[in-house]
Structures are given as structure tokens and as C-alpha cells.
């Protein structure tokens, strides 16, 4: 299960149960409890990123406004939950939905904005000049 607030936070949850409804409920609860914030640049991502999880490989590229979501159904579910509106993606390797979703989340967690990088280097005075 994927849960997100469409404001830059997303979580992944897996649930097991004797009934399908129980598994879905547990997965949803796990996803909501593990929401993580992702670095976004308005309606797209700040830079290109590549990630892999197991045999699944995912490439995410920023797109210009109006492009829309050009991605497969598993990547699209994660991207829509985060709130990204313009992105290009390519899913390579395994088609296992769980691994593709985990690779996509791993890729999104690797994203860094310019402000975050400058702050980490101790160059906070340049943030105001860059903006």
C-alpha cells in the first residue's frame, strides 16, 4: 500500500492477514505511520536520479511544466501520492511491483534541493543570493 498527502510526503506499508480486508487495512496503517518527506522542486523533482532495489531499477528525470506523468503504473502510484505533476521515468529490470515501488521511494529519498546542499556545506549566506 502507498499512502501520501500530495504535499511531498509518502509512505509504503505491507500488511498480512487471514482476510484480504485485514491485509489492506494493516498495509494502509503501516503506510500512514511511516510517511517520509521528499525534496521537490515545485511540480517536479530537482534533478535526475537512478535507484535500484532488488532486481528493479528506476530512473526518474525532471520534466518541464505541462508534460504530465510519463511512467508505469507502479511508479505512477508512488509519484501521484507524493504530489509530483511533471516527471519522466523509466523502469528497468524486474517488474515486481513491490520492488519497483521500493526502488522509486529510494530514488525519491536521494533527492536534494539546492538549499539543502548549500545548508549542508555551511554556505547559508549564498541561499538568499541564489533565490
Residue 11: partners with Cβ closer than 8 Å, 6 or more residues away: 2, 3, 4, 30, 31, 32, 33, 34, 35, 36
Assigned architecture for domain 2-120: 2-Layer Sandwich (3.30)
* Residue range 96-109, pLDDT digits in tens: 999 999 999 999 88
Whether 31 contacts 49, CB under 8 Å: no
Strand partners, 36: 10
Q: Is the pTM of this model over 0.75?
A: yes
* Residue range 61-95, pLDDT digits in tens: 998 898 899 999 999 999 998 888 999 999 999 99
Domain residue spans of the chain: 2-120
Amino acid at each position: 500500500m502507498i499512502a501520501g498527502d500530495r504535499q511531498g510526503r509518502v509512505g509504503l506499508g505491507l500488511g498480512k492477514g487471514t482476510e484480504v480486508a485485514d491485509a489492506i487495512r494493516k498495509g494502509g496503517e503501516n503506510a500512514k505511520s511511516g510517511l517520509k518527506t521528499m525534496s521537490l522542486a515545485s511540480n517536479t523533482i530537482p534533478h535526475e536520479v537512478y535507484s535500484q532495489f532488488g532486481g528493479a531499477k528506476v530512473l526518474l528525470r525532471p520534466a518541464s511544466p505541462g508534460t504530465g506523468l510519463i511512467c508505469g503504473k507502479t511508479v505512477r502510484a508512488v509519484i501521484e501520492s507524493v504530489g509530483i505533476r511533471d516527471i519522466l521515468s523509466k523502469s528497468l529490470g524486474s517488474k515486481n511491483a513491490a520492488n519497483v515501488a521500493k526502488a522509486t521511494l529510494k530514488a525519491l529519498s536521494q533527492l536534494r534541493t539546492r538549499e539543502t546542499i548549500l545548508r549542508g556545506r555551511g554556505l547559508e549566506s549564498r541561499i538568499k543570493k541564489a533565490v
